[in-house]
Amino acid sequence: MKRKSIKEAIQGYGIKKAVYYLDSNPEKNIPKVLNWLIKIDKEEKYVAKQAKVILPYMDNKNNNWYRLIKSLYTDVDDGVRKKLFENFIVNGVFIGGKRQNKARKEYQCNVPWAILLDPTSGCNLHCIGCWSAEYGDKLNMDFDTLDSIITQGKELGIYFYVYSGGEPLIRKKDIIRLCEKHQDCAFLAFTNGTLINDEFAQEMLRVKNFVPAISVEGFQEETDYRRGKGTFLATEKAMELLRAKKLPFGISCCYTSKNTEVIGSEEYFDFMVGKGAKFAWFFTYMPVGKDAVPELLAKAEQREFIYRQIRHFRESKPIFTIDFWNDGEYVKGCIAGGRRYLHINANGDIEPCAFIHYSDSNVYEKSILEALKSPLFMEYHKNQPFHANLLRPCPLLDNQGRLAEMVERSGAKSTDLKNPEEVGSLTEKCIPAADRWEPVADRLWKESHGCRNCNGCLNKAALFYEEQDEVK
């Protein structure tokens, strides 16, 4: 296990002191701490840019960002807030960020900020169009394997781990054990919420470094349509329990052709805020697996609707939102392939993305670093961004043939053990959606960037990645 250097320890100690300083009088001290973060991150590699965005809002107590930050002190347990702040900011951003940059430069490959991993393929629900339903509970990674992934990750500076599945809370006990063992990490789980009970909430309070993102498809009608009768009421019960315990949580929303207008409505955003959610992660439906339902793919006008609604509500609603496709311009395109995250399924296959079920590496045969240097991950490294228009970030859904080319050149294979899917077949299911989104994305990009042609954007994108390589 790599120990923190003296420099890392000193810097970490200073930021921890800032956390306690904040707690003494958050209303007065938040602007001071933001200014301090800007000062210590002079080259704007870590948090200075974000701090500069937040700082102007701190003078207006009615502003949604002010209200969100203040709610972290009124609605969240003190010990949980301090632990998560320390693990995210001290370990995940400053200490971890520097280790990641050093590793990128040394190994000339992508090194992610987060790892998404599936403890199990098992799930207590059977949602329409979900690939996990095909596997049942046949695939599981044991505790030692999960522990090894996290240990390897920390060597590279990765302190943020996200569980998916399957339903990860089927493995509650192991998840809590990992939180205990890796107290310097922050853990999140995408969960249907139905297994969150009082006993587990108490365990979350005890370990302090675990946050759930509860999956909802809208209100009762939309959620129960895909996830089964009674699911929505179960998620509401889980949210109420977490809020009562002063435990932070968020919402995970998949928008489809059936529910986009509901998920993007002001009523729905107000519902999330009212239930106590502090963040919302938005995904668009991807037709992955034998049981996929391509008809659930959001239409181009629906994707534009989500694009506009989220940007609008960021100015008025006290909730932090991430739109994983439409926010490509903020993160310079696709974040998969280890650029900012990678995915490890319950069979141990190391995949570039949760929605890209192809791999040439497995945790039982290769280290995380070896996988990042494998042909498939190096294809991502060489080809990102996949388009000059960063509103078309995805090599599968937004750029015809890009994924297929990388998979074929790398020799990667389908990781679907039950019904292997040829990459050409998967691509075909996405072509109509990609064709319809292209003119919309180009119009939106020109609106927001004043572009007259794509060559300028392409040159800027190339320059950005050259700068990133220098940072690495």
304 and 439 share one domain = yes
> Which stretches within 64-110 are classed as H helix?
64-74, 78-85, 96-107
Structural domain contains residue 74: yes
pLDDT in tens, 422-431: 999 999 999 9
Q: 417: how many CB neighbours lie within 10 A of its CB?
A: 14
Structural domain including 220 reads 109-448
Per-residue pLDDT at 18: 66
pLDDT surpasses 90 at 5? no
Structural domain contains residue 330: yes
Residue 359, beta-bridge partner list: 413
pLDDT in tens, 209-253: 999 999 998 898 888 887 888 899 999 999 999 999 999 999 999
d(CA 51, CA 56): 9
Phi, psi of 154 (to 5 degrees): -65, -30
Distances (CA, A) of 388 to 401, 426, 459: 16, 23, 8
Per-residue pLDDT at 455: 46
Tell me the CATH number at 390: 3.20.20.70
73 and 113 share one domain = no
pLDDT surpasses 60 at 114? yes
How many domains in the chain? 2
pLDDT in tens, 81-108: 999 999 998 899 888 999 999 999 999 9
Q: How confident is the model at residue 29 (pLDDT cuts 50, 70, 90)?
A: confident
Q: Which two tokens stand for residue 263?
A: 């998920």
By residue count, the chain amounts to 472
Phi, psi of 117 (to 5 degrees): -140, 150
pLDDT in tens, 278-299: 999 999 999 988 778 899 999 9
44 and 83 share one domain = yes
- CA neighbor of 211 nearest in space, from 85, 35, 398: 85
Helices first, then strands: H and E counts in the chain = 19, 11
CB-count exposure of residue 52 (10 Å: 0-12, 13-18, 19+): middle
Per-residue pLDDT at 355: 94
**Which of helix, strand or coil describes residue 469?**
helix
- pTM for this one? 0.89
Q: How confident is the model at residue 141 (pLDDT cuts 50, 70, 90)?
A: very high
Q: What is the mean pLDDT of the chain?
A: 88
CB-count exposure of residue 440 (10 Å: 0-12, 13-18, 19+): middle
61 and 204 share one domain = no
Q: How confident is the model at residue 41 (pLDDT cuts 50, 70, 90)?
A: confident
pLDDT in tens, 439-472: 999 999 999 886 555 544 544 444 444 444 443 3
Mean pLDDT of 320-335: 93
Structural domain contains residue 459: no
